[in-house]
A and B are shown apart, each in its own frame.
Chain A
Amino acid sequence: MKKWLFGIVVAALPSLVRAEPPTVGPQVTITLQDRNSQALPQRQGFTHTGGGNIDVTQPAPDTIVISMTGVAVAGAHPIKDSTAAMIFELDQLFEINFENPKVKRAKVTLEGRLIGLLRTHPGSGSAAQGPAHAALACGNVELLAIEMPSHCVTGGENLSVNMHQGPAAVGLVAGQYHLHQTFTVSAAHPRTLKMCKASSSEFAPDPALDPLWISYWEPFHGALKKDFGFQVTLKISPDIDGNGPEQLGKPMAAAKRR
């Protein structure tokens, strides 16, 4: 009997002595605070706007993702000029906390992507995507920024936009910061008696743009739209190397110049 008991104890030993790995959370975290954001549709004439979402998510304690998605369409009306726009603006306050007392400094990276479609019909109409801008600031001092250039198409041009910027990085200490982000999509069409198709600026996943508003033979038929929009990812990590802002690349330099 003793032999059997000894055997069972020996058999169980591997389980008993297997040490649980210590739970390790992020050493630096972000706490979201006050937010002031708005998406402003502007419509005049024969127009359609869709989406208008400003989505702020925190997939991990050290990461926040902000998405702005919207659509603006302006069609050819026989007696009215048409303009449509969706204007986004966001101010997000947040606090950077150091969970590990050994961490004295954190590295913040800012990364942006912009995906969407611009369409116009030959003859008239225009569609544009305004500057997509995101900046990290402390008080009135801009610390880090990314900016995507504008695009505009007209007179039958069509454009698929897929831009990415970053990651731009800066070293920061714990404290309160805010992220300012802006984005605009717009379309315009003059009045005409011609059977012109609408101009559209599409930067939102389905079903923001009703397909009946654009040409059946649209040039981007079947495009995958689930990632459409202006998305900014802000991520924080311990600055182990101790790199100061001076060593962290062009975006910071650009921000300082501004």
Chain B
Amino acid sequence: MVQPLLLSLALSLGQAEPGAAEAQSEPPAAEEAPTSSALAPAPPDRWLLMRYLQGTWPGWLLDSNRLQISGWTDMSFTASTTGQNQLPMGFNYAANQFLLQQNWLRFERSVVTSGTTEPTFGFRSDTILPGNDYRFTVARGLFSDQLTANNGQPNLYGIDPIQFYAEAYFPTIGRGLDIKIGRIFCQYGVEANDAPSNALLSHAYTFIYDPFTHAGIMGTLKLTDAWSFQAGLMLGNDIFIDPASSPYGMGSVKWAPPDGRNSVLFNVILGSGRFNVAQNFHNPEIFDLVYTHLFNPRLHYSFESLYGFTTNVPGIGFANWFGVLNYLTYDFAPRLSGTTRLEFFDDVQGQRTGFSGLYTAITAGISFKPRRGIIIRPEVRYDVNSSALPFENRPGLFTAATDCILRW
């Protein structure tokens, strides 16, 4: 008798309370549905001018047509071991003086690259208005007379409509086909013409002495999430409509997996490859490779290798040059990063810089953003040429520079 009673007691205890069972079977509380604003794509960056116009009638006119006006002012000071200038180290070339490098005006209508299957059309106009960077980027045939306007010498400051193009985006061709017609930034390399895109204030020789812009038509086809291709037909390098222009082609292939740690970009610029003696114009052929690697979310590395050549150069014949660049960037904080750059640039015949030999340049700098629209980039840099005296009859150059970019 005791055995069944014990059994029944055990079974009774084993039965779950109905309340508990109900509680267990209740579905978990539904998470709060995301608001529509959370689902919406991130809005494009809005800088000071567009923020100021937001909520006004002119601002509404711009926004309702996907138009944006923005820009920045980049001012620098470079302390140097040279007396006058640091050339052939370009851009912040003036020694021990203040420079307004870029006062940049951007007016654009962006294309829509997601959320639609319809083609969209836009444009962009970038103008240095004014700045001393024009001296390096201005294209022949487009305000290039500023380079001789000061008694045969360049004006200190000038303007340069450095980029202007019409753009069409076709989202259903491949993973998206983008076509640009106009004057377009060259698509190779790590460094860029627009100051905020660069980690360091000063530029590498590989950037300074190779093409900045093309005028022509260029298509970018995204085949997969990782692979994209570019092809373009141009009037030449750093030249607009001018007697010296000649057909040039550019092409690139890029491999950049969306969540990958590595990316590779190979770019070629091919044309006549001959120095145009009659027009005194340089037509280089360029081969460029860029590799990037993300060690971790804070530490990233970029490598660039460039080879260029030109034939028929007066007094030289065949001229070629090599560049090898290494960038290592560490993000100390969201608003503070540090970058080192080690460059080897071999101007074999001296056709690019005016002095032959291997340039070695090491640069260390930080990029600090005290506010979202303010970037301060102090740096120190040492350049040395192994076989010539390019820096006011010295082989080496030490500079300590800083700039401030105010985005508006």
Contacts and interface: CB of A to CB of B under 8 A. Distances in A.
B317 interface: no
Contacts of A40: none
Contact of B54 (A18, A76, A215): A215
A12 B4 CA distance: 13
A10 interface: yes
B60 interface: yes
A213 interface: yes
B60 A46 contact: yes
A137 interface: no
B114 interface: no
Interface in B20-50: 35-37, 40, 46
Given A10-B4, A207-B36, A226-B35, A75 B56 contact: yes
B280 interface: no
B371 to A, nearest CB: 14
Contacts of A198: 55-56
Interface string A192-208: 00011110000001110
B11 A11 contact: yes
Contact of B8 (A11, A76, A212, A218): A11
A98 to B, nearest CB: 30
A4 B4 contact: yes
Interface residues of B, number: 28
A78 B57 contact: yes
A10 B55 contact: no
A65 B316 CA distance: 88
A206 B37 contact: yes
Contacts of B58: 195
B296 interface: no
Contact of B12 (A11, A213, A216): A11
B85 to A, nearest CB: 42
B5 interface: yes
Contact of B56 (A3, A195, A207): A195
A8 interface: yes
A215 to B, nearest CB: 4
Nearest to A10: B8
A223 to B, nearest CB: 12
B56 A197 contact: yes
A interface residue count range (under 10 / 10 to 19 / 20 to 34 / 35 or more): 20 to 34
A18 B5 CA distance: 19
Contacts of B5: 7, 10
A6 B55 contact: no
A77 interface: yes
Nearest to A200: B55
B197 interface: no
Contacts of B51: 216-217
A13 B5 CA distance: 12
Given A7-B8, A10-B8, A11-B11, A195 B53 contact: yes
B35 A206 contact: yes
Interface in A212-245: 212-218, 226
Contacts of B56: 75-76, 195-198
A133 B8 CA distance: 65
Nearest to B51: A216
A22 interface: no
A14 interface: yes
A153 B1 CA distance: 85
A118 B235 CA distance: 57
Contacts of A76: 56-57
Contacts of B119: none
A108 B263 CA distance: 69
B15 A15 contact: yes
Given A10-B12, A198-B55, A213-B55, 18 more contacts: A3-B1, A3-B3, A7-B3, A10-B8, A11-B9, A14-B15, A18-B18, A75-B60, A76-B57, A197-B55, A206-B37, A207-B35, A207-B36, A207-B40, A212-B60, A214-B54, A216-B52, A217-B51
11 contacts: A3-B1, A3-B4, A7-B4, A8-B11, A10-B4, A11-B8, A11-B10, A12-B11, A14-B12, A207-B35, A212-B60
Interface of A: 3-4, 6-8, 10-15, 18, 46, 75-78, 121, 195-198, 205-207, 211-218, 226
Q: Which 8 A/B pairs are nearest by Cβ-Cβ distance? A: A11-B11, A7-B4, A10-B8, A197-B55, A216-B51, A7-B7, A11-B8, A215-B55
